[in-house]
Chains A and B, each alone.
Chain A
Amino acid sequence: MAVPILKQSNYLIATIQSALTDQDFVQLRDALVDKVGRFRSRGVIVDVTAIDVLDSFASRTLRDLAYMIRLRGAHTVIVGIQPDVAFAMVQLGITLADVSTALDLEEGLAFLDDVGAET
Chain B
Amino acid sequence: MTKITDRETRQHNIRVRIESDTDLVSARHAGRMLAEQAGFTSSELTLIATAISELARNIIEYANFGEIHLELVQNGSARGIRIVARDAGPGIGNIEQALRGGFSTSGGLGLGLAGVRHIMDNFDVESNVGAGTCVTVTKWKL
- Name A's B-contacting residues (CB within 8 A): 19-23, 52-57, 59-60, 82-85, 87-89, 91-95, 97
Q: Which residues of B contact A94 (CB under 8 A)?
A: 50, 105, 111, 115
Smallest CB separation, B109 vs chain A (Å): 9
CB distance from A43 to the nearest CB of B (A): 25
CB pair A88–B57 under 8 Å, yes or no, is no
- Can you pick out 9 interface pairs between chain A and chain B where the beta carbons lie within 8 Å of each other? A52-B49, A53-B46, A55-B111, A56-B54, A56-B57, A56-B105, A91-B47, A93-B104, A94-B111
Q: B8-16, B22-30, B64-72, B90-98: which lies at the A interface?
A: B22-30
Which of A60, A87, A97 has a CB less than 8 Å from the CB of B43?
A87
The residue that A55 contacts in the complex, of B57, B104, B114, with Cβ under 8 A, is B57
Chain B: interface size category: 20 to 34
User: Is A95 touching B47 in the complex (CB atoms < 8 A)?
Assistant: no
A-B residue pair count with CB separations less than 8 angstroms: 83
Chain B residues in 8 Å Cβ range of A21: 21-22, 24-25
Most buried by A among B24, B46, B103: B46
Tell me the complex Cα distance, A85–B115, Å: 15
Residues from 71 to 130 in B contacting A, C-beta threshold 8 Å: 103-106, 110-111, 114-116, 118-119
Find out whether the CB atom of B50 lies under 8 angstroms from the CB atom of A88. Answer: yes
Hey, which chain A residues are within 8 Å of B106, CB to CB?
Answer: 60, 95, 97
